[in-house]
Chains A and B, each alone.
Chain A
Amino acid sequence: MSAFANILAGGVFHAAVLFLVAAGLQLVFGVQKIVNLACGSFYALGAYFGITFISYATQLGISPWLIFPGLIVSGILLGFIGPPIERLLRTVYGRDESFQLLLTFALVLIFQDVFKFFWGANPRSLDSAYLIYGTLNAGDFSLPVYNLLVILAAIAVAAGLGAFLQRTNYGRLLRATAENRGMAEALGVDVRRIYAAVFTLGAVLGTTAGALVVPTAAASLDMAIEFVIEAFAVVVIGGLGSMRGALFGALIVGLIRALSIVFFPEFEVLAIYVIVIGVLIFRPVGLFGKSLA
C-alpha cells in the first residue's frame, strides 16, 4: 500500500512540474494563438541555470534554506528572455500558424546549441540535492520535503493564476484579448503589451519549473524536446487554452507515467499518446476546452 503511495507521490511531483510548463503553453496559446514549441527550451534553460546556481551556492556556503527560494528567483529572472523572443515572434503574428510553429521550432534548435555552448554536451546533475530538507516518513512511505515544496509551489501557482485571471482587472483584459482580439483592441486594450506580458509570463512559468526540477533530475540537451512533447500531451488532454485543463491534464499524464513505469514499463509513453489520440478523436477540444463553434 505504501509502495503505491510512493508511486503516486512521484506522479504528483511530476505532474506539478508538468503543470507549470503546460500552464505557460496554455497562456501563450490562449491569448496569442501560438503553439510555442520553445516552452520546453525555457524549461531546460531554467534547469541548466538552476544547476549553476546550486553549485555556486554550495561553493559559497549559502544556507540550504535559501536554495528553494533562490531557484524560484532565478527562474523568474530568466523570464527576462521573454520580451526579446516575443519581439522576434511579433514578425509572424499575422501569418499562417504553421509559420509561427516553425519559428518556435527554430528557437528550439538555437537553444539546444546555447545549452551545449555554456553547459557542455553531457548531462549535468547534482548529487541528491533534493534531500537537503530531509524526507517525510510514515511507515514505508517517504517523500522528500523538497518534492513536497515543489508540489505546494505548483498548487500556489495554480491558485494564483486562477485568481489573477478571474478576479483582477488585468486578468480580465487577458481573457478579453483571448476571446476576441479585435474587439479588445477596439475597446482600447493595448494588445501588443498584453502579448509581451503573456509571453513573458509563459516563459517565467517554464524557467521556474526547470529550475525547481533540477535538484531531483539531471539537465540534459534532450530534456527540452522531450518535455515539450509531454507538455503538449497535457494541453491536448486538458483542452487547449484552458488552465483547469492544464492542471488535470498534468495530473493524468503524471500519474499515468508513474504507474506505468512500475507496472507496464513498455507502455510508459505509449499510454499517454493513446489517451491523447482518444481525446482528440472523441473530444477534440479536450476535457476542459470550450467548444470550437
Chain B
Amino acid sequence: MTISSAAVTALAGTVALALLPVVAPPYYVGLMIPFFGYAIALLGFNLLFGYTGLLSFGHAMFLGLGAYGAAVLSGIFGIKQFEVVLLAVIMTAALVAVPIAFLCARYVGIFFGMLTLAFGMLFYSFLFKFYHLTGGDSGMRVPRMNILGFAFERYNKIEFLAGPFYYYCLGLLVIAGLLMWRIVHSPFGLHLQTVRDNAHKAEYLGVHVRRFRLAAFVISAAFGAVGGAILGFRIGLADPELVYWTHSGQLVFMAVLGGFSNFFGPIVGALTYTLLQDQLQSLTEYWRSMLGMILALIVIGFPEGIAGLAADLPRRLAQRFV
C-alpha cells in the first residue's frame, strides 16, 4: 500500500468516526468504545501475527493486564488520571512481556502458540483462584477516571462514554495507528518481515532473529494493555474472562476477519466483529454459531480477510472490465 492511498484511507476513516456521534444514536456511539479498545490491541497483535509471523494464542493476557492494572491503580491506589493509568499499564505489560517473550521467542508456529496459551492460562488461573487478591470470578471494579485532567461530572456514565471518552479513544486510536505505521515502515518493521519470511536467511544476513521477535512481542503487549484498559474502563469491571483462552481466540478471529496481511485489517476486523456480534446477539441466542460459521467461511474462502478483499477489488474489477 502506498503512503498516499493509506493516508487517504486513514483520513476518511478518522473523519467518519469523528462524525459518527453527530449522526448515530448514542447506543452505537457507546458500542464504538470496545471497538477502539480492540482496534488498538489488534494493531499490536498484528505486529506479532501479520508482520512477524507469530500466532499468539494467549494475547488476551495483556488485555487482562491492562484492565486489571486500571482496576488496581484507580480502585485501590486511587489514581484518577487515566493517562497515568495508561502509562503505568503500558510499562507493566512491557515488563511482564519481556521474560515471557524471552522464553517464547525461541519458538515459532504451533509451539509458540501453545507456550503463549499456557502463559495466558497461567495468568487466568491466578486471577480466578486467588480470590483475596483479584476478586476471583467476580473480578475487580474499575472506577470512573478523569481524562486529560477533566472529570466531566455533569455527564452520566453513558453520556461520558458516548461523548468525551469517545473522542478520547478516537485520539488514542489515531496515535496508536500513526505509531504502528511508523513502526512497520521503519527498518525495524522491515526486519520483522524478513524474520517472518525467512528466519534462516535473516540470521545469515546478521539479523538477531530472537531479539526482533522479542521486541515485537513486547510492543504488541503494550498495545494490548492500552486496549484492555479501555475495555475495562467501559464496562467498569476487570474480570478473568478477559484473559480466558477463548478471548485470545476471539482476537485472532478479529485479525483474520479484517485481514492480517493489510495494515488496516485489524481495525476493520475489530469494527466488523463488534458490530456483527452486537447485531447477531440481538437477532438470536445462537450468535456464537453464526460467528463460527462466518469464521469458517473466512478461513476457507477468503483468507485475505475483508481488508484484503477491498484492496483487491480494484484489480479484480479491472480484470473483468478491461
Contacts and interface: CB of A to CB of B under 8 A. Distances in A.
B142 to A, nearest CB: 24
Interface string B188-203: 0000000000000000
A276 B116 CA distance: 11
Contact of A110 (B130, B256, B292): B292
Interface residues of B, number: 40
A8 B245 CA distance: 29
B103 interface: yes
Contact of A105 (B107, B253, B289, B303): B253
Contact of B285 (A107, A116, A229): A116
Contacts, number: 113
Interface stretch (A143-151, A194-202, A207-215, A267-275): A267-275
Interface stretch (B178-186, B263-271, B294-302): B294-302
* Chain B interface, DSSP helix/strand/loop, else mixed: helix
Interface in B294-322: 295-296, 299-300, 303
A229 B295 contact: no
A233 B293 contact: no
A170 to B, nearest CB: 27
Contact of A273 (B125, B286, B288): B125
A35 interface: yes
Contacts of A266: 129-130
Contact of B293 (A110, A116, A267, A269): A110
Given A110-B292, A280-B115, A103 B300 contact: yes
A109 B289 contact: yes
B299 A92 contact: yes
Given A116-B286, A280-B111, A106 B296 contact: yes
A114 B114 contact: no
A102 B49 CA distance: 13
Nearest to A114: B289
* Chain A interface, DSSP helix/strand/loop, else mixed: helix
A246 B285 CA distance: 37
Given A106-B293, A232-B117, A97 B109 contact: yes
Nearest to B292: A109
B299 A277 contact: no
Contact of B288 (A109, A233, A267): A109
Given A267-B129, A269-B121, 9 more contacts: A97-B109, A99-B256, A102-B253, A103-B299, A114-B289, A266-B130, A273-B119, A280-B115, A281-B103
